[in-house]
Amino acid sequence: MNWLEVVGTLANAATISGVGFVVWQMRRDRSYASASIVLTICSNIRSSIEEVGRSASADMPSHKTWEHSFRNLLNELELASAIVLDKAASGRSGKIAERFLIDILKHINGDLGMKSKVSAAIHQETTFVNLRDFLRKHRADLQ
């Protein structure tokens, strides 16, 4: 075996190792990105829910203020639905986001007042399309 063959063999081994490392790094980065996305989703939705609660329990609650807060929550749920459906939130953290959305949507679906406000918030065909797709995908979970 001459030195060129040895160098070629070592280069092939290094390439294979490098590809393996890149694949490992990509998986790790995806896990970190997913966790960050889920943390942001949960934080934003929790803040929106708290705002809905504050506007409902104010001394002189304004129906318009509550409705505005509720629509902001729906917009957060729409964005979170798109992220989950795109599988940007994956693995265990993705499952947390999915279950979180399902639990909130179950609550909204079980409250006739909130459910009617969802219908009233839809002002065109594309309004909440991701939320509707998420609901359709998880219909059995929402029963």
Over residues 53-78, the pLDDT tens digits come to 888 886 666 778 889 999 999 999 99
User: What's the whole-model pTM score?
Assistant: 0.79
> Which two tokens mark 108?
């909204």
pLDDT at 93: 87
- The neighbour count for residue 102, using CB atoms within 10 Å, is 16
Residue whose C-alpha is closest to residue 130's, from 76, 71, 82 = 82
Residue 108 has pLDDT above 70, yes or no: yes
Summary mean pLDDT of the chain: 83
The 10 Å Cβ neighbour count of residue 132 is 14
Angle at CA 16, nearest 5°, toward 14 and 19?
105
**pLDDT at position 20, please?**
59
Residue 9 pLDDT > 70: no
